[in-house]
Structure 1
């Protein structure tokens, strides 16, 4: 179960569609819920929308053929400031500017519970971000997410909090930014 036993593979959007059931199983395991529960159903809906986004990329980790983790995301389109909408404290206009090649959203990073704390998440993170050509990456977490100290130890910097949209899992999210390329 160490990282040495896992293989990492890069995928595009069309390949991600074919992997959706496995991705949902990993997501459910990572959160300790059943694959059919609402949390996993919400993940499925988000994932299906993101597979077709510009700059979408997926990296999977397999151990003995079994999918044990994944990371995916997409590039923010030019002019799209929805991601930054309502962020407090309000950053500069220059910070908010999106060119279509500036910012990659790390949307999901999930590892099955039995493989957590073994370096799989960090390997997925570095493989996904190391392949990006954007200037920075961003991610959002729940306000009290246990992963926040992990992200900070990987070099992510908290830039503020945004309100959640209606129907979101949280009423607010913490936003983080990481300058690219990733250095370790």
Structure 2
């Protein structure tokens, strides 16, 4: 089994978001290469942690290398990787390469993992994964190898606060991003 979550817990949230692009994520046997992330910091008005710990966001204040899972708009689950306390990186899209049959059963139509809701449906992320470690059991996160990839940077998507922060990162040239990045 590959060592899971080999990321420095001292990284600031944007550095962690950049480091996760190109990493490999697997959830119970289905996964792929992360191609898009968004960073959320404790002092960020768009972050769930901005007002401090609550029952909903308590995992964001837990140990690094754990999942923060929440339901967006009461419909879709979203998967985040916790970094420093109150900081997390939303996994927005991945390029699927493992367990494609499982993913297609869960998402028979449309793109598999372009967008956080689709990604969670295809990977079968569950609310019970909230607070779970990326320890190589159900959730596996393996760092990319080699030189850092060319990254796109742009504003986060679907926010009403802190909309000007360029805290969305994507793998340049990757198919399956949740939305196109502004011209660089």
Query: Under TM normalisation by the shorter chain, which class is it?
Result: under 0.3
Name the TM-score, length of structure 2 as normaliser.
0.27
* Structure with higher helix content: 1
The two structures have a TM-score, normalised by structure 1, of: 0.27
Pick the structure with greater CA Rg: 1
Name the structure, 1 or 2, with higher relative contact order (CA <8 Å, separation 6+). Answer: 2
